Amino acid sequence: MTLDQILVRAPVVPVLIIDEVADAVPLARALVAGGLSVLEITLRTPVAMACVERMIGEVEGAVVGVGTVLTAAQRQACADIGAAFCVSPGLIADSPADGPVPLLPGVATATELMAGLALGYERFKLFPANVAGGIDALKAFASPFAQARFCPTGGVNAKNAADYLALPNVICVGGSWVAPVDAVKAGDWDRIAQLAREASALAQPAAAPTEG
Ligand code: 3PG
């Protein structure tokens, strides 16, 4: 699957921080049941990769990606375990768009966008979206960077997601609000499925042009 094919599947990509491997599968099933099939498991806990493997093996309908990928070696490791995509908070040096697994790199400025375009990327995570100018920045990037499309993440929530999704250069948004840490800890999968249903009902902009 290309990055575009992945990013158009749902308006919201849940950003997941998972402490217990046992939570991985029920959490992913709740999100998929609620209509959010593209999942980003962040490499912020020691069990993250084990969670990714469990979700890939056991959760039908999930498109499982890895977030907080900071190095080319981590990207390769994601490819090796069969992750569908990777997300990074920034640009990974010497890791071009045609690497071992699709990568959505983070950018916050015009200069970073230009560096990303030079590496072959046209899809970016605007991060941290609310600090990096939010909706105004995305509107300002639209004309000089007509080929770029974004998944704003960082400070996006149920209140402002629709405003981001209304922008023509936004494909989808990312955020942790659909899987609150306390709900995961409590195993409150019904609440998470409900949050996912609300998020998946948000209007997603028209499909982005395919890559390549
Ligand atoms: C992250 O990488 O932590 C994401 O940007 C999530 O941000 P959020 O918690 O503000 O949704």
Residue 209 forms part of a structural domain: no
pLDDT band at 207 (very low <50, low <70, confident <90, very high): low
Query: Pairing relation of β-strands 63-67 and 85-87?
Result: parallel
Residue 189 forms part of a structural domain: yes
Ligand 1 mean position, distance from CA 161 (Å): 13
153 Cβ below 6 A of ligand 1: yes
Amino acid type, 43 = L
State percent of the chain over pLDDT 70: 97
Residues tagged active-site: 40, 125
Amino acid type, 119 = L
Q: CATH number for the domain including 43?
A: 3.20.20.70
Residue 183 forms part of a structural domain: yes
76 Cβ below 6 A of ligand 1: no
- Structural contact between residues 85 and 104, judged by C-beta atoms closer than 8 angstroms: yes
Residue 207 forms part of a structural domain: no
176 Cβ below 6 A of ligand 1: yes
Ligand 1 mean position, distance from CA 127 (Å): 9
Residue 196 forms part of a structural domain: yes
| Nearest residue by C-alpha to atom 7 in ligand 1 | 154
Q: Is the pLDDT of residue 212 over 50?
A: no
Residue 206 forms part of a structural domain: no
Report how many domains make up the chain. Answer: 1
| Nearest residue by C-alpha to atom 9 in ligand 1 | 176
**Average pLDDT estimate for 8-33:** 98
Ligand 1 mean position, distance from CA 176 (Å): 6
Residue 37 forms part of a structural domain: yes
**Average pLDDT estimate for 127-156:** 98
Q: What is the 3-state secondary structure (H, E, C) of the chain?
A: CCHHHHHCCCCEEEEECCCCHHHHHHHHHHHHHCCCCEEEEECCCCCHHHHHHHHHHHCCCCEEEEECCCCHHHHHHHHHCCCCEEECCCCCCCCCCCCCCCEECEECCHHHHHHHHHCCCCEEEECCCCCCCHHHHHHHHHCCCCCCEECCECCCCCCCHHHHHCCCCECCEEECCCCCHHHHHHCCHHHHHHHHHHHHCCCCCCCCCCCC
Which ligand 1 atom sits closest to the C-alpha of 176? 11
Print the domain residue range for 162.
3-200
How confident is the model at residue 209, as a pLDDT?
57
Which ligand 1 atom sits closest to the C-alpha of 153? 5
pLDDT band at 203 (very low <50, low <70, confident <90, very high): confident
How confident is the model at residue 179, as a pLDDT?
97
| Nearest residue by C-alpha to atom 1 in ligand 1 | 154
Alpha-carbon distance of 212 to 111, in angstroms, equals 23
Q: pLDDT, tens digit, for every residue of 164-192?
A: 999 999 999 999 999 999 999 999 999 99
Which ligand 1 atom sits closest to the C-alpha of 67? 2
Residue 28 forms part of a structural domain: yes
* Global pTM value: 0.95
Ligand 1 mean position, distance from CA 113 (Å): 20
